[in-house]
Structure 1
Amino acid sequence: MSNTSVETVSSTVDRLKLGLAVLVIIAGIVAFSVLDDQPTVARVGIFIGSVIVAALIAWFSEPGRRSIGYLRDSYNEVKRVVWPTRKEATQMTAIVFAFVAVMGLFLWLVDKTLGWVIYGLLLGWR
């Protein structure tokens, strides 16, 4: 048996697992909608249960394990980020607002000037 056929079988099995996971989530959504006469807590519980079961099914596929690894690595990167202080965030926000206001004024002046040049001087409209 060649590597290609093994990868295809693995890939097909992984597709089936991911397809089953999607179907489980869809079943949870349908159950949430159909069981509208049941208490909300039960309906939400069924939906959350379907998401958990789908995650477990996806966990046993190669793309699912890669996705979980990616999420774990992303979380570790977020923990390493040096977040700005409240004062720094406020100052940067004020700078952005000031820049937007100045650029808005500048673009308005450019628009009015071009309108005056094109319509007033070149076309003679008033």
Structure 2
Amino acid sequence: MAHSSIETVNTTGDKLLPILSVLLVIAGISAFYLLETYNWYVRSLVLVFSISVGIAVELYSASGRNFIAFAKDSYHEIYKVVWPTRKEAIQTTIVVFGFVLLMAIYLWISDKTIEWIIFSLILG
């Protein structure tokens, strides 16, 4: 369900909305530290409110709408995934563990061979 036929026209407002959302988040973080004489829950409420408004402003922009469309398409793709059965998952896990064990043995033998070559043959 890709929306490849959607045409977006970037206006100045669409270019300014991401900047505004970042400024709102920065203002909320600044307000959290500047309002140190208030209780922590008032400061936290201001912070959460400004971050929420910043996110809402960003989601209203063209890039935010594209993100929402992407998220919806991704959510619909989840239903198309074919998950392995329990038997397939166990078999795959056994193969992976077997391969890891074989590689560990191979690397151990290689390491001991190189060690033997260096210390016994070269260094005496």
Deviation digits for residues 46-70 of structure 1 (CA, Å, limit 9, x no counterpart): 4443343222211232111111111
TM-score scaled by structure 1? Answer: 0.65
Count of residues in Structure 1 that have an aligned counterpart in Structure 2: 114
More helix by share: 1
* Alpha-carbon spacing, 1:108–1:65, altered in 2? closer, same or farther (3 Å): same
The aligned amino acid for 1:56 is A
- Map 1:54-93; keep pairs closer than 5 Å: 54-86=54-86, 88-93=88-93
Within 2, Cα distance between the matches of 1:63 and 1:49?
22
Cα distance in 2 for partners of 1:85, 1:59 equals: 38
| TM-score, structure 2 normalization | 0.65
C-alpha RMSD over aligned residues: 3.1
Work out the CA distance in 2 between the residues paired with 1:102 and 1:108: 10
Cα distance in 2, alignment partners of residues 90 and 107 from structure 1:
26
Q: Distance in 2 between matches of 1:79 and 1:34?
A: 47
Residue aligning to 1:125: 123
Moved over 6 A (4+): none
Amino acid at match of 2:69: G
Alignment of 1:1-126 (within 5 A): 10=11, 12-32=12-32, 37-39=39-41, 43=44, 45-86=45-86, 88-121=88-121, 124-126=122-124
CA distance in 2, matches of 1:61, 1:21: 10
User: Unaligned 5+ residue runs, structure 2?
Assistant: 1-8
**Unpaired segments of 5 or more residues in structure 1?**
1-6
**How far apart are the structure 2 equivalents of 1:50 and 1:21?**
9
